[in-house]
Homo-oligomer: A and B are copies of this chain.
Amino acid sequence: MSVGLSIHELLTPVAVIDEAIMENNIKVAQEYFDRIGRNFRPHIKTHKIPALASLQTAAGAKGINCQKLSEAEVFADAGFTDILITFNMLGAARLERLKALNARVDLQVVADNSAVVEALAGSFDADRPLKVLVECDTGGGRNGVQSPADALHLAETIDTCAGLTFHGLLTYPKPASEAEVQAFFAETIGLLNRAGLKCPVVSHGGSPSLFESHLVASATEHRAGTYIFNDRAMMRAGMCDLDDCAMHVIATVVSRPTETRAILDSGSKALTSDLLGFADHGFIVDYPDATIVSLSEEHAVVDLSGSRNRPEIGDRVRIVPNHTCVVANLFDQLVFHRDGVVTRMETVAARGKVV
């Protein structure tokens, strides 16, 4: 119902997406992966909107990446047939749903330990085996087997399970660690070769170093989510410029209690509290020297002491959030625009899908 309106007429706070910037982000990333001859699998956790994943696959992406079973179910319902879930699956009810999903799409999951492999093996059978990638901790310090030897061992375990197919390796790396990732992958692939295990997929990931993916020579695919919108953390990583940030949270100045303090109507329930290493809560495009020093749930407190230009009550500001993936998850809908004119609203279909 807002189509055709100016984004400046929308009630705030509101998360808006610039269609042209988003389209360019999709295009530039896909062209890079086409150029280096590598599959690209966008992570839908950033937007959770099937219509956007359709733009990504239409551009050439090979399937999608989900982080949770419930997200994958939403995207399967929307017609996506090539889905990778990059999260260990545990729990009888979850495995039952996973099996139902595997029956209707080309599904891959990950495992980084034998308990998860055992649980998967107990739920799947040789009629419709489940493809499993071994998740490797190449330095990211989250999930993952700790060494190439451990990766081989887990791959061999998977290979002995009738209901499972060892399908390859995966990492979510720390940024700028292509050499470590390549070393880990290369050594593991050597071990797998010697053991006679095929490794069709070697999956690298992350938006911050997306355009360095070619440095991981062994990888066959790359996964990334944030790149579609970009955000302040991606700017800091040198992955994009301000002009490449497709998402803005538009907020209104609702109070100016003092000369140097402004209050915006975008709190942690609009921007989230994700700092990602920043000391403040987003970049105000229109007042680059102003600082969002703290958030309450519905208030942002802005320090204007370093800002010559100071907004008045009722003024609207555009904020590039620290982390776009968590912002989309707070809104029921994202608003899209071209040159400030609303083109469409899209429901964040997989929002709230946490299991």
Contacts and interface: CB of A to CB of B under 8 A. Distances in A.
A252 B301 contact: no
A341 interface: no
A354 B254 contact: no
B12 A143 contact: no
Contacts of A257: 112-113, 137, 142-146
Contacts of A270: 354
A93 B274 contact: no
A227 to B, nearest CB: 15
Contacts of A52: none
A273 interface: yes
A12 B255 contact: no
A90 B354 contact: no
Contacts of A332: 352
A111 to B, nearest CB: 9
Nearest to A71: B298
Given A257-B112, A269-B326, A354-B330, A263 B11 contact: no
Copies of this chain, tallied across the complex? 2
A343 interface: no
Interface string A296-331: 111101000000000011100000000001100111
A217 B274 CA distance: 39
Contacts of A146: 257-258
Contacts of A331: 352, 354
A87 interface: yes
Interface in A335-355: 351-352, 354-355
A59 to B, nearest CB: 24
Please tell me the size bucket of the interface on A.
35 or more
A265 interface: yes
A68 interface: yes
B326 A252 contact: no
A209 to B, nearest CB: 16
A37 interface: no
Residue picked from A268, A275, A301, most chain B C-beta under 10 Å: A268
A312 to B, nearest CB: 8
B88 A255 contact: yes
Contacts of A91: 11-12, 252
Nearest to A13: B354
Please provide the 10 A-B residue pairs with the shortest distance between their CB atoms, ordered closest to farther.
A115-B313, A88-B254, A273-B273, A332-B352, A11-B355, A143-B255, A273-B274, A67-B298, A143-B263, A112-B255
Given A90-B313, A142-B257, 14 more contacts: A12-B91, A45-B297, A90-B252, A90-B314, A113-B313, A115-B312, A115-B313, A116-B313, A142-B301, A143-B299, A268-B326, A272-B273, A297-B325, A330-B330
